[in-house]
A and B are shown apart, each in its own frame.
Chain A
Amino acid sequence: MTVQASNLESEQLPDPSGAPEGDVSKLAGKSPTRLALGRFRRDKLSMVAFVVVALYILAALSAPFLVKFGVLDPTSFNQELTDPSTGGLPIGKLGGISWEHPLGVEPQTGRDVLSRVWYGLTFSLAIALTATILAIVFGAVLGIIAGFSGGWVDATIGRAIDLTLSFPSTLMLLALSSIGIQLMADILPGTFSDPLPNGAYVVFVLALFGWPGVARIIRGQVLSVREREFVDAAVLLGASRRRIYFKEILPNLWAPILVVFTLTMPAYISAEAALSYLNVGIKPPTPTLGNVLRSSINYSSADFIFFFTPAFLIMIIVVSFNLLGDGLRDALDPKTHR
């Protein structure tokens, strides 16, 4: 099997002068994935973004354990660190930064800001990740079906996509929140104000309005993949629809799916923050990046560090995920140059 010409770019070729003869055959044996990885590794910005995202994920994974072992303490009050005569601003410079509280303490309550954003990250990423996976699974399956089947199936799914996208989703989300959360509370363990039903509602709604975008992209990709010979061969051999969808077509879609994933995650992280600001989502005292941001929003002038921290952390992760997504897209599909 030969490497497709389109994947062989001059930049991938090793320096001819110093290369031993045998390298040509090695090059011929590189899979498209390895080529893409190579391209990705050479993209410094994307690598930085990748490291930042990895650190964030590591932090999110570690937070529940750190809280359990008392290293992080997102809920305990330290009101002695705030000054009631100033409306509860932290005592000390820069929002009460100290060794015990490296990012300062929250006004009025004295809760540790670092613990709150760190632990909040876990909930925010969990919500964004679950919603992204759900949106991609539904979007990909429906996109493949629509793209491959064509005809009335494609038309029906296409209209469903249009219909969903034309819904005023944010308004719906707000209007239906109390009913929706109650519904979740009935299905899931926990009461109306517990994190699980509230988080589940946000996940549900994000996924509900997120799948059409994914489905459209996937459908477009499927339209070109289904014309390829191996698909025709599978059809002629009498493979089942299911096999064609998931064994023949899906493996050719990992690249766009990965890119969609890395671009949807940051959108949902911001969406969680925005929804928390509108008082939908996990309720305090359980922190999320969004509700920490909400409680900080009025402190732009009174306590800048407190105001700045959650916003800055959200910004960094959203930018990193976006850069990572862009880098992956460039690496996986070198034909698109910006």
Chain B
Amino acid sequence: MFKYRKRVLAASAAIALAAGLAACGGDDGGESSDNPTGDAAATGEAGGTLNYLIYAPIEHVDPQRIYVGRDITNFSRTVYRQLVTFPISTDPEVSNTPVPDLATDTGTSEQGGKVWSFTVKDGVKWEDGQPITCEDFKYGASRVFATDVITGGPNYLLSYLDIPTDEKTGLPAYNGPYKGDGQELFDKAITCDGNTITYNFKKPWPDFPLAVAGLHMMDPYRQDKDQGDKSNFQIFSNGPYKLEGTWSKNKGATLVRNENYDPATDDPDNIRRALPESIVFNIGQTTETIYDQLIADSGDAQTAVTGQRVPPAYYNQIEGAVADRSSLQASPYVDYLVPNFRNMTDPKVREALKVATNAEAWINAGGGEKAYAPAESIVNPAVVGYQDNPAFSGPQEGDPEAAKALLEEAGVQTPFPITFTYPSSETADKQAAALKETWDAAGFDVTLDGLGDTYYDVIQKPNKESDVIWGGWGADWPSAITVTPPLFDSRINLTQNSDGQDYGAYKSDEFNSLVDQAQEAGTLEDQTAALQEADIVLGQDVAYIPLEIAQFYFLYGSKVTGFTTTPASSMYPDLGAIGVES
């Protein structure tokens, strides 16, 4: 049902899905884990065909445009190798620490994180046998700047790379390889010296290797294979698999072995075991159909995994032998509400909204503890430097009486009309009605505004009528700098035509200066401290109200071996480890 923006995934009919990075101290954090990864290598055997069942079409397969957590990990493990990547491990410490992949090491930095360099390994090849060069990495990065063609992907590079910005538009003076304006500026910012690539940034980027490993924006791209927008569904592999035929947006595709991949240049045990002979991405069945098959464990479903969560209506069928094939882990996402600061200008009214919000009813209406865990901040606990936000600690059942008193104090006329905008689905409709109950009791007059596929288009419009807006977010890499700044920094979000990701049009100089402080910090410790303070400011202003952390509850087929979900795979099934019995 929900669409998570960064690592976005839409599935309006069914249940949330999404991705991100992180593990979670949730219920069974370390100990339980059904499949200790170490064993997987021993039990998994090579061969067979693995089916990956997907509900909604994947919007982008182009490395520089992928931004959905599930797709980032799936393609990392199969076709798109990175300079550095996250290893297979259920231990968050290990899994959130990048290891060398196409680079010889995890990178060296100078000038307090403003300059980073990596050396590309010898012997790494594209699927046509040509070596991967430093120039390919440089070209890949240049594509990010073609914001009119390469849309949908992460654009951190635009604000970090040392290229002057146009004062009028605020955009970099380089506009990508297709138009080529300002190419010389780009050539200065990223330089190649033999096999060594050096990135020059205008501000420190202490966690740059995390960003490289967590996203595909820094992936290499071969210039002669680039057809701009037409490359959206093309895969030119450098990993253990390659595309067989073409990628069909509505049906998916099959990946087969890439004979030009040399495991000796990789670290098969820790990154890509590449056990199945082929992997089929099967797109288009509804979540319900997928789970009917997985529960019945018939035919292809025996060798299938999915990134769709079990719908609550199926929970009671997952017992006995079926339960042995299930996996329940906290996701790296947080769902939240934002008040629209254009309409709800009175802090007391926002406070009343927060106090009246019954997150527990929302969770129960969405399926209960197997679907969601409570959240006490917009930052996921798996993120480095997480701390509870004091504004949202304690029970979250909503207190209509206290909220009523706050509304009276504010002196507004009750019932106070508000419109709640959310992406509609059968489950979300119930959850929204659950929130409406306590809000109405507190003296609000709530109109539920459930939207269809155009959700983000609507809520990003500055003239929207919404007063309360649903959002979902996960860190792009395990740092809060990819959570609160992209969501609440008014300077990068609010323009004349769009509110960006700052759906509530939140604007605070105090918060923005703390973001600056975090971004200029040379060390991760300083950065974390500034971000923790920034989150507290957000809590005081009621810039958001956390709802829950989605639980990733998956089922897989009986012939799947080594099933595991890792922080490296955003808690989706980790294709690096999974094999099938033939």
Contact = CB atoms under 8 A, between A and B. Distances in A.
A79 B430 CA distance: 12
24 contacts: A77-B433, A79-B361, A79-B434, A82-B368, A83-B368, A85-B369, A86-B316, A106-B430, A107-B313, A108-B312, A108-B367, A191-B419, A191-B447, A191-B449, A284-B430, A294-B426, A295-B429, A298-B288, A298-B313, A298-B426, A299-B313, A301-B317, A302-B313, A302-B315
Contacts of B419: 191
Contact of B452 (A84, A87, A178, A302): A178
A85 to B, nearest CB: 6
Nearest to B12: A279
Interface string B446-489: 01111010100000000001000000000000000000000000
A108 B450 contact: no
Interface string A100-136: 0000001111000000000000000000000000000
Nearest to A285: B433
B445 interface: no
Contacts of A79: 361, 364-365, 434
Contacts of B427: 108
A194 interface: yes
A256 interface: no
Contacts of A192: 449
B361 A77 contact: yes
Contacts of B317: 301-302
Given A284-B433, A298-B314, A302-B314, 12 more contacts: A76-B437, A82-B368, A85-B369, A108-B364, A108-B427, A108-B430, A109-B434, A191-B419, A194-B447, A283-B424, A301-B316, A303-B313
A170 interface: no
Interface string A80-97: 001111111100000000
Contacts of A87: 312-316, 367-368, 370-371
B153 interface: no
Contact of A285 (B361, B369, B448): B448
A88 B448 contact: no
Interface in B353-374: 361, 363-371
B447 A298 contact: no
A279 B424 contact: yes
Contacts of A299: 313
B20 interface: no
Interface residues of B, number: 35
A295 B288 contact: no
Interchain residue pairs A-B with the least CB separation, the first 4: A84-B368, A87-B315, A87-B312, A298-B313
Interface string A54-87: 0000000000000000000001110100111111
Interface in A278-301: 279, 283-285, 294-295, 298-299, 301
Nearest to B295: A301
A193 interface: yes
Given A87-B312, A87-B371, A88-B312, A108 B433 contact: no
Contact of B365 (A109, A283, A298, A303): A109
A279 B452 contact: yes
Given A88-B368, A283-B429, A294-B426, A107 B447 contact: no
Nearest to B315: A87
Interface in B191-221: none
B316 A75 contact: no
B454 to A, nearest CB: 8
B436 interface: yes
B546 interface: no
> Which residue of A108, A285, A295, A298 has the most chain B CB atoms within 10 A of its CB atom?
A108
Interface residues of A, number: 32
Interface in A193-230: 193-194
A298 B366 CA distance: 14
Contacts of B450: 193, 283-284
A213 to B, nearest CB: 30
Contacts of A193: 447-450
A295 B434 CA distance: 15
B313 A84 contact: no
Contacts of A279: 424, 452
A256 B454 CA distance: 45
B437 A77 contact: yes
Contacts of B365: 77, 79, 88, 108-109
Contacts of A108: 312, 364-368, 427, 430
Interface string B303-344: 000000001111111000000000000000000000000000
Interface of B: 288, 311-317, 361, 363-371, 419, 424, 426-427, 429-430, 433-434, 436-437, 447-450, 452, 454, 465
Nearest to B425: A279
Contact of A88 (B367, B424, B429): B367
B1 to A, nearest CB: 12
B543 to A, nearest CB: 25
B364 A88 contact: yes
Contact of B430 (A76, A83, A295): A295
B312 A284 contact: no
B291 to A, nearest CB: 9
Interface in A177-194: 178, 191-194
Contact of B369 (A84, A106, A191, A301): A84
Contacts of A75: 433, 437
Contacts of B366: 108
B255 to A, nearest CB: 32
Contacts of B316: 86-87, 89, 301-302
Contact of A295 (B314, B315, B426): B426
A102 B300 CA distance: 43
Contacts of B369: 84-85
B104 to A, nearest CB: 49
B447 A84 contact: no
> Which residue of B315, B317, B436 has the most chain A CB atoms within 10 A of its CB atom?
B315
A107 B434 contact: no
B572 to A, nearest CB: 21
A89 B437 CA distance: 20
Interface string A287-324: 00000001100110111000000000000000000000
A295 B13 CA distance: 11
A85 B426 contact: no
Contacts of B371: 87
A285 B436 contact: yes
Given A85-B369, A178-B452, A283-B450, A298 B433 contact: no
B26 to A, nearest CB: 15
A280 B246 CA distance: 35
Contacts of A303: 313
A303 B367 CA distance: 14
B436 A85 contact: no
A87 B447 CA distance: 27
Contacts of B426: 294-295, 298
A88 B431 CA distance: 12
Contacts of B454: 178
A63 B390 CA distance: 46
A285 B429 contact: yes
